[in-house]
A = this chain, B = another copy of it.
Amino acid sequence: LPSNVAKQTGEVNVAEQPVWQSFAQLRCTIVAVSSRATIRDVAALAGVHPATVSRALDPRRSGRISAATAERVEAAARQLGYAPDPIARTLRSQRDSTVGVLVPDLRNPVFPPIVAGIEDRLSSGGYTALIANTGNDLERERTQLEVFRRRRCDGYIVATATVDDASVTELVGGPDPVVLVNRRLDGVAAVSVGSDDRQGIRLVLEHLVGLGHRHIAHLTGPENLSVVRVRAEAFRAEAARFGLPAETSIVVHCSALDTPSALDPARELLARHPALSAVVAGNDLIALGCYVAADAAGRSCPADLSVVGYNDMPLVEWWRPALTTVRIAQYEIGREAASLLLARMSSQDPSEAKHVVMPVELVVRASTAPPSTGT
């Protein structure tokens, strides 16, 4: 057991040991790695008090310790393969090198790349990401948040917020740093990362109008998502700017940003507006819903109906037809969110709220074409 081993070699000065002790220490290292050394073992081996070990190993206090001691402690720690127990450390210090990440739906292919960006950046900053999937369930979001808080996460990245989300609003008001991703709260200042939605919609309409479309609808998600609101707003504004008559620029909301929720609204949209020649979808999954509805209505895309997605999630270039969509910088959004959080966690001062806007790009593929002249 490491404790015993450490006691035996207790006060020995590492630098002055005869060669024949090296092997004993080597064995000791092996033992210590497979079971686990405590801070007391390290203290005993280095001949100092446990508290000194704690200080010596704390990067924040690197100045407040004598170089000689620091070196001895580090040598002992390395030798024993010591790493502080995160549970004990958290219990005592009430902080944890952990970030809670809340994702609405991991099965939506946009999110895995965002999560990958978050994980990569966070782990390079010495933090571990705890990922929780809420499945768009507000109650589950609340529960997961509670779990995170009980575990004393040092910060949070939230991609699930609705505009009036009570739990998230409370979280943002609390002492721990929070970064919102792709979502914002109504009337609550916060740190957030998003994309240039206005520009995305502008590019889409420019493209469609350029192709000759005049009768265009926006089929999107629930209005309690900031991203939905902003894009719908932009759609109306840009449609007006391009001189499209208001009565031919329809906005329809689905209950969620996924394919099943889009099916009925899409069917109804096509049935009620036979003159419609293009649909701008709130995201790629809703665009897929439009494909299905168009099929069912006997209209082929893009000949009889142009469809544009949003996000450019992985593999949509392989859909049939390949989806024209707005590319958002998924991985980079994740990295940026993590960077902002790391910055806020390291500097004590609560830097003011800000919204980082990432650039977008229109990717034209095969789901858009000039409107059919027959209609």
Contact = CB atoms under 8 A, between A and B. Distances in A.
Interface of A: 83, 85-88, 90-91, 96, 106-107, 109, 112-113, 115-116, 119, 128, 130-131, 133, 135, 147, 150-152, 288, 291, 314-315, 318-322
A109 to B, nearest CB: 6
Contact of A116 (B107, B147, B319): B107
The 5 closest A-B pairs by CB, nearest first: A320-B320, A131-B131, A107-B112, A106-B112, A318-B319
Contact of A322 (B113, B151, B320): B320
How many copies make up the complex?
2
A320 B115 CA distance: 28
A151 B107 contact: no
Identify which of A147, A318, A320 gathers the most chain B CB atoms within 10 Å of its CB.
A318
Contact of A91 (B83, B88, B131): B88
A15 to B, nearest CB: 30
A314 B319 CA distance: 12
A183 B320 CA distance: 33
Contacts of A106: 106, 112, 115-116
A319 B318 CA distance: 5
A113 B320 CA distance: 23
Nearest to A94: B87
Contact of A90 (B87, B112, B128): B87
A18 to B, nearest CB: 33
Contacts of A109: 109, 314-315
A295 to B, nearest CB: 11
Contacts of A152: 87
A240 to B, nearest CB: 33
A314 B107 contact: yes
Given A107-B113, A319-B320, A87 B150 contact: yes
A319 B317 CA distance: 8
Given A90-B87, A318-B288, A322-B320, A133 B119 contact: yes
A172 to B, nearest CB: 15
Nearest to A152: B87
A128 B321 CA distance: 40
Given A106-B115, A106-B116, A150 B315 contact: no
A63 B83 CA distance: 40
A291 B320 contact: no
Contact of A151 (B87, B131, B314): B87
B128 A147 contact: yes
Contacts of A133: 115-116, 119, 131
A86 B319 contact: no
Contacts of A150: 83, 85-87
A132 to B, nearest CB: 8
Nearest to A315: B315
Contacts of A96: 87
